[in-house]
Amino acid sequence: MARREFPGRRAPTSDPDWLTLGQAAKYLGVAQSTIRKWSDQGRVPAFYTPGGHRRYRRPDLDNFLSRSGPGGTAQQGPLVLIVDDDERVREYVRVNLEMEGYAVREAGSADEGLAVLEEVSPDLILLDVMMPEVDGWEMLRRVQERHGVGAIPVVMFSGKVDEQNAAEATARGAQGFLGKPFDPQQLIEHAKQLLPA
């Protein structure tokens, strides 16, 4: 992990120009795990205290935001909609896709996902099969009813992985099928194949 030091500068938490990890994550509108990864990659400069805590300069964060959109995603990046009732899975997928330059919207249910589709038309939908009330198959049908089969590429995923599910996803017009738990690289490659960033 590359540590960026600012010689001669201290990072007191009382100084309004310096933010803690939690404050910086809130300022950028992302999860703390996301900003940690960004600083590890060198996308957001970080100062490390002698105790190993990260501090961020507000001007550096402003500069990062000026190059990026809200949530630190590239403004021109393709939009991916993740629909899954598991918040941890959504965050995990979102963080990995945002790091690859995608803009991401989340929905915790099929109904929420359909509401997002009323506001914006994503370039790709990642859709969980197993959800309470309205499942992924029904949401896929409704998306196709409103937008046409294949108009918005859809990758289905499920904790239950078998040949029948994969074949059913293809037969119903989905562009892919993945099993949980995800290999993030496999998911990113799937997204890149369907939708280059």
Coil, helix or strand at residue 14: coil
Rounded to 5 degrees, what are φ and ψ at 27? -60, -40
Domain with CATH 1.10.1660.10 in the chain: 18-69
**Would the pLDDT of 107 be above 90?**
yes
Structure tokens at 167: 């074949």
Contact 157, 127 (CB under 8 A): yes
The string of pLDDT tens digits covering residues 110-130 is: 999 999 888 888 999 999 988
pLDDT at 84: 92
Mean pLDDT (the chain, rounded): 80
- The pLDDT of residue 66 is 67
Measured distance CA(93)–CA(82) in Å, rounded:
8
Decide if domain 73-194 falls under CATH 3.40.640.10.
no
Helices assigned H by DSSP within the chain:
21-28, 32-41, 58-67, 87-99, 110-119, 136-147, 163-171, 184-194
**What is the structure's pLDDT at 11?**
41
Q: Does residue 181 or residue 116 have the better pLDDT? A: 116
pLDDT of residue 143: 92
For residue 67, the model assigns a pLDDT of 62
Q: Which residues 6+ apart lie within 8 Å of 95 measured at CB?
A: 31, 33, 34, 37
Q: What is the pLDDT of residue 82?
A: 93
CATH architecture of 18-69: Orthogonal Bundle (1.10)
pLDDT of residue 83: 95
Give the tens place of pLDDT for each residue, 71-104. 444 445 788 999 999 888 888 888 888 888 888 8
Q: Which of 4-13, 90-99, 103-112, 173-182 has the least mean pLDDT? A: 4-13
Helix (H, G, I), strand (E, B) or coil at 164: helix
Q: Which of 185, 131, 188, 109 is nearest to 155 (CA)?
A: 188
Is residue 152 within 8 Å of residue 132, measured between CB atoms? no
Q: Is the peptide bond before 181 cis (omega within 30 degrees of 0)?
A: yes
Q: pLDDT digits over 149-172, tens only? A: 888 999 988 877 667 778 888 888
Distance of alpha carbon 155 from alpha carbon 169, whole angstroms: 8
Location of each CATH 3.40.50.2300 domain in the chain: 73-194
